[in-house]
Structure 1
Amino acid sequence: MRPVHFEYQSPDPAASQDFFSKALGWTFQQWGEFPYWLTTTGPDDRPGINGALMPSPDDQPRTVITVDVPDIHQALERVSSAGGETVVPIQDIPEVGRVAYCRDPQGIVFGVYQAAEMDE
């Protein structure tokens, strides 16, 4: 299970977009009707992951790493067994997959993601 996505939660998403565009050359594209911008960090043929930028729900800046899992229900059980907790229950993202957010015993929030099964 490896990191596949990050989310920067910013008190000022426009300022963050401006900074990361200038400092690192990242590009941003609005996704859906939400204040959520997909973030491209570089070409697909280079190592690294892409992510997203969104407003912070409590005006505190943070980064959330999301990990790919084969079975989201089993992953949440393992998190609980290891002393963590689910803080945002499973959410379906149409044509993308399912995601939930957890907190480890030290208070760090992270996501678990199960990709949608694609029809062949």
Structure 2
Amino acid sequence: MAVKPEGTPCWADAMFGDVEGAKRFYSDVLGWTFGESSSEYGNYTQAYADGKAVAAVVPPMPGQEGHSQWCLYFASPDAAATAGRIRDNGGEVLMEPMQVGEFGTMCLAREPSGAVFGVWQAGTHEGFEATAVPGAYCWAEVFTREPSRADAFFTAVFGYSAQQIEDDAIDFRIFNVGDNAVLGRMRMTDDFPPEVPPYVNVYFTVADCDEAVARATKLGGVLRFGPVSSPFGRMAALSDPQGANFSVIDITTTEGEMPKTKDVS
């Protein structure tokens, strides 16, 4: 696989206090299998869908125990240069670019409105080996209470073009790399409790949304929204038993017309 264009989501991982519990949950809900944990890299363990690497789970590093959360990584040809742009545009670099063996270089950051994300400069590990198939990553959205700050930041750091959904009921923006939509941005309404911080919501593809929700809730997951049908697929938002938010979507079951958009960049 070729290295993904700059700003394209390329990998996702999450820290879990109970890694074995997370593996049981996601293997049942998303059909994942897991590789051997790498003690050299903090027991980092890759997840596979139909033999393709699609994500990873890892125990928290000392001092980082607490709320579990999925982290989405964006491709960069030069993580150090991206870190510089993050700082220059009001973001915070939480972890300086760090080489991970021959696999690549990673960086963790927080955009000005508060959502945490990663940057990945590929080495031998180029990122997702599959997307938009059952068990694999499909889409992501930045949920924020300060959309103007997030919008200015992401377009400046990754050079995105942007389109706004023409709908008075929601404030939703789509970021593009070339002709490809790669990321959404949703303004958090008062429906979100004030203690919920801005975050990046990762969507994983499933063959049947309702079935995935049923499996997740049976295993202690919490249904946050849906299932609902949309022009993009039938989807639902969940929290896993350790509190990590994620969404599932069946992209084969669509309903309604695509929303109208207008260019804003």
Q: In 1, distance between residues paired with 2:220 and 2:148? A: 36
Q: Alignment partner for residue 19 of structure 1, among 140, 145, 153?
A: 153
In the other structure, the counterpart of 1:63 is 200
Distance 2:244 2:210 in 1: 20
Alignment of 1:1-120 (within 5 A): 1-33=135-167, 34-41=170-177, 44=180, 50-57=182-189, 58=192, 60-93=197-230, 95-117=231-253
Opposite residue 7 of structure 1, the aligned amino acid is E
Q: Tell whether the 8 Å contact from 2:204 to 2:247 is kept in structure 1 after alignment.
A: yes
C-alpha displacement at 1:103, in angstroms?
A: 0.6
Separation in 2, partners of 1:103, 1:42: 32
Q: 2:175–2:184: 8 Å Cα contact kept in structure 1? A: yes
Runs of 5+ unmatched residues, structure 2:
1-134, 255-265
Secondary structure at 2:241 match in 1? coil
What's the offset of the Cα at 1:20?
0.7
Q: 75-84 or 7-16, which moves further after superposition? A: 75-84
* Structure 1 unaligned regions, length at least 5: none
- Shift of the 80–42 alpha-carbon distance from structure 1 to 2, 3 Å rule, reads farther
Aligned residues with identical type, % of pairs: 22
Shift of 1:96: 2.1
Cα distance in 2, alignment partners of residues 36 and 50 from structure 1: 14
- Measured after TM superposition, the shift of residue 83 of structure 1 is 2.1
3-state secondary structure, aligned to 1:70: coil
Q: TM-score, normalised by structure 2?
A: 0.39
Q: Provide the C-alpha distance between the structure 1 equivalents of 2:204 and 2:158, rounded to a whole number of angstroms.
A: 23
Name the CA distance, whole Å, in 1 between partners of 2:138 and 2:211. 18
Q: Compared with structure 1, are the counterparts of its residues 105 and 42 closer, same or farther at alpha carbon in structure 2 (3 Å cutoff)?
A: farther
TM-fit CA distance, 1:7: 0.8
TM-score scaled by length of structure 1:
0.81
3-state DSSP of counterpart to 1:50: strand
Equivalent position amino acid for 2:172 in 1: Y
Equivalent-residue separation in structure 1 for 2:182 and 2:232 (angstroms): 15
Equivalent-residue separation in structure 2 for 1:42 and 1:83 (angstroms): 40
Q: 1:65–1:27: structure 2 CA closer, same or farther, 3 Å change rule?
A: same
Once the two structures are overlaid, the 10-residue window that deviates more, 31-40 or 51-60, is: 51-60
| C-alpha distance in structure 1 between counterparts of 2:172 and 2:210, whole Å | 26
Q: What is the distance in 1 between the residues matched to 2:188 and 2:174?
A: 15
